[in-house]
Structure 1
Amino acid sequence: MNAGERARNLIKGKSIDRLPVVEWAPWWDLTIKRWRQEGLPQNLASVRDIQLWFGLDACVQTYFGVRTKDTPQAPSHGAGIMRTAEDYQKIKKTLFYDPSTYYTKEYIDWLKSTREEGNTIHWFTVEGFFWYPRELFGIEPHLYSFYDEPDLLKEMCSDYVRWLKKVFEYIGNTFKFDFMSFAEDMSYNHGPMLSKETFDEFLIPFYKEVIPFLKKMDIPAFIDSDGDITLAVDWYAGAGADGMFPLERQAGVDVALYIEKQPQMTFLGHFDKMCMKLGEEAMAKEFERIIPSCQKGKVMLSVDHQTPPDVSVENYKIFVKLFKEYAAKVKKN
């Protein structure tokens, strides 16, 4: 069973010979810098090369961002580039490019060649309906926009829906990804940033328009949201999502609860990155915590976010060794 088939089977609740052994998020630059000093070969340039060197199943993300080189840049993280409907009309001219021009033929050919090698899981990402307007408004103005500019917010998301359908159509005619994700980050460590009523008015209608499009293409749709997603799991399930990640342990989340709440969903991540620096015993204990949920539900185990630079290359090798041992214990027919 190759890597892509194993991931697709897990998501669909079909048979698997073991868990995928993946790290879905690339490492911090500082993590790689440390590892270079501790023996990681200098000639390993790509994330995929490093994944394979450690013995992981490669996991390649392809991102389709909505902005172009002509879109204004925010002056700082969290700041916006628009405030009014007039601002949006100007910025709109720099968005919504032809998706067939985003990646070169060489890149698409590379995706196909790595698919044929059989050791790589492929997924693509677009911005979700919380993330997309936030990047344009800025964090604080975006949260006010649900009250101050509701019509503009809906207009922006309607425009975005039309473009996403073009992106999905292009993808459907170009390369078969194993799954996809909507980047959202709608929750923080105390729960969602929106009420259920606001979510239902401003997000669900757009998700219900595009997720069926993905289902027809047989591409599972995941939601990427940091923080405490305990409430949001049910909300996104109602929107038609097939899964969520990364289930950050430091936010107090527990996948054992989620597989009971939404057993049809797949959950990716959840391994507490904060224990990795503590050595083999701490990491084994964390695997023991999660493996029962992997055996019971649809859980694709992975580090719950990027492996931090306090993890030595030796401890990361121990992590991968343990991961393989525990992954082999989860077989489903």
Structure 2
Amino acid sequence: MMLSTVIGELYALNLRSRFLEVARFGNPDKVPLSLWGIRPATLKRWWREGLPPGMDAATYFRFDIYGMKTFNIASWPSEGFPWEPSDRLVNLGPIPPFEYRLLREDERYRVWVDSLGITQLGFQDDWKDGWSGFATRTFIDFPVKNRYDFERMKSRYDPHHPDRYPPRWKETVKTLKEMDDGSFLIHLSLRGAFWWIRDMMGLEATLINFFKDKRLIEDILDLYLDFHIEALRRAVEEVQVDYVTLNEDMAYKRGPMISPRMFREYLSPVYRELINFLRNHDVKVVIVDSDGCVEPLIPELLSVGVDGISPCEVAAGMDVVELRKKYPKLVMMGGIDKRMLASSKPDIDREVYRKVPPLIKSRGYFPGVDHAVPPDVSFENFSYFLELLKKLCGWID
């Protein structure tokens, strides 16, 4: 890693070193932005307002320069969507995946089974043009209801299945090594343990079985841990991963889905062992991604080795200024209220200046919107917001 020293402070010269400097509470020359995605419906609006039609926002705004350009080395299905394994990435999904099939539909609703075996009901309007970026769904059924179902599910998560590493994986490794000049981050995005078990049983059954059938919960979590360690062992030996995201979405607006006590009892041992495995393979940064108010779980996350959280959703009370006072060594990504971007420019100024300068000064903060940008945000407002962030983060004078 190339660094230069100026009056005793480290100034990073590429994205990787800048990212690691921020995550280690150092002082880079420029702070990478935490730039979430743009909703498809938002993109359609911006094409009418000045973004060249057909062009994606990341290309137009050069997210690859100012943001955290990443290459994710693994693939897994997300609930609701059809899924085909990548021919270049580690396959962390069920093998075989469940058959994606439409069960019934009318003018307003559709009912379908996704690649994880989850049966759900959703609005046609959310899916008629691919995916709108929003999807209000009702989960009807999940594949694991009891011990018998779980034993059948286990065969789909054989970590040593030959299809875990597709034929072009070697090409991926070779390409990453040849192109690795520090201009992008090698990222590993995983379902967290709580997300994994909810995908199998659903939230309600999971919480009930914390008390009703603890052995089943423990066995599912054992499978989660063993599967991920064994399935990923080759990947982390062949590729140097910069950071890992554990996707959990484990909170609502007013608090987490799981209590700190239940987290300690069931999830802490799994987190601790998985993170130890990652650290032993020189992974420097582990982030938990969760919408909602996850603050009551922050002490538990820190205690098992998690470095930080994302996206710090403001509507759920996740105020990054207050969080920094309570958790001085918590890495944070996001935290800027997306609702303010739909307001006036003075409102954007107030939101940004209240948070970004003091958080950059305290270090360990990647500024950005607290989730994907919704369609009530104009192209003009987002352009203004991004220029403001770039200025405060050292990208422009």
Whether TM exceeds 0.5 here: the answer is yes
**Residues 71 and 95, structure 1, Cα contact 8 Å, conserved in 2:** no
User: Which structure: greater helix fraction?
Assistant: 1
**1:162–1:69 distance in 2 versus 1, CA, 3 Å:** closer
Structure 2 counterpart of 1:194, which letter? I
User: Which of these residues, 227, 230, 241, is aligned with residue 166 of structure 1?
Assistant: 230
CA distance in 1, matches of 2:230, 2:147: 24
Structure 2 counterpart of 1:239, which letter? V
Shift, 1:222, TM fit: 0.9
User: Which of these residues, 62, 66, 71, is aligned with residue 52 of structure 1?
Assistant: 62
User: Which of these residues, 21, 33, 36, is aligned with residue 33 of structure 2?
Assistant: 21
Shift, 1:150, TM fit: 1.2
**1:204–1:261 distance in 2 versus 1, CA, 3 Å:** same
User: Which of these residues, 332, 356, 362, is aligned with residue 296 of structure 1?
Assistant: 362
CA distance in 1, matches of 2:229, 2:19: 25
Shift, 1:100, TM fit: 2.5
CA distance in 2, matches of 1:242, 1:19: 17
**1:282–1:107 distance in 2 versus 1, CA, 3 Å:** farther
Matches within 5 A, 1:91-170: 91-98=153-160, 99-101=164-166, 104-105=169-170, 107-108=172-173, 111=176, 115-116=180-181, 118-170=182-234
**1:144–1:61 distance in 2 versus 1, CA, 3 Å:** farther
CA distance in 2, matches of 1:303, 1:55: 17
**Residues 51 and 57, structure 1, Cα contact 8 Å, conserved in 2:** no
Cα RMSD over matched residues? 2.6
CA distance in 2, matches of 1:128, 1:102: 27
Structure 2 counterpart of 1:132, which letter? W
**1:53–1:213 distance in 2 versus 1, CA, 3 Å:** closer
Match of 2:79 in 1: none
Match of 2:298 in 1: 233
Match of 2:343 in 1: 278
Deviations 1:150-171 (A, max 9, x none): 1111111111111211244233
Shift, 1:6, TM fit: 0.6
Q: How many residues align?
A: 327
CA distance in 1, matches of 2:180, 2:377: 30
User: Which of these residues, 115, 118, 121, is aligned with residue 74 of structure 1?
Assistant: 118
Q: Please tell me whether Structure 1 or Structure 2 has the larger radius of gyration of its CA atoms.
A: 2
CA distance in 1, matches of 2:51, 2:186: 24
Match of 2:378 in 1: 312
CA distance in 2, matches of 1:310, 1:290: 22
Shift, 1:224, TM fit: 0.9
Shift, 1:120, TM fit: 3.1
- 3-state SS in 2 of match to 1:101: coil
CA distance in 2, matches of 1:166, 1:206: 14
Match of 2:21 in 1: 9
**Residues 133 and 142, structure 1, Cα contact 8 Å, conserved in 2:** yes
CA distance in 1, matches of 2:272, 2:66: 35
Q: Could you state the TM-score of these two structures normalised by the residue count of structure 2?
A: 0.75
**Residues 37 and 372, structure 2, Cα contact 8 Å, conserved in 1:** yes
Unaligned runs of 5+ in 1: none
CA distance in 1, matches of 2:178, 2:353: 36
CA distance in 2, matches of 1:176, 1:255: 30
**1:53–1:64 distance in 2 versus 1, CA, 3 Å:** closer
**Residues 248 and 272, structure 1, Cα contact 8 Å, conserved in 2:** yes
**Residues 131 and 183, structure 1, Cα contact 8 Å, conserved in 2:** yes
CA distance in 1, matches of 2:287, 2:371: 15
Unaligned runs of 5+ in 2: 1-12, 77-91, 99-116, 121-136
Match of 2:319 in 1: 254
**1:149–1:241 distance in 2 versus 1, CA, 3 Å:** same
- If asked which structure has higher relative contact order (CA below 8 Å, sep 6+), I would say 1
Deviations 1:232-258 (A, max 9, x none): 111111121111111100011222232
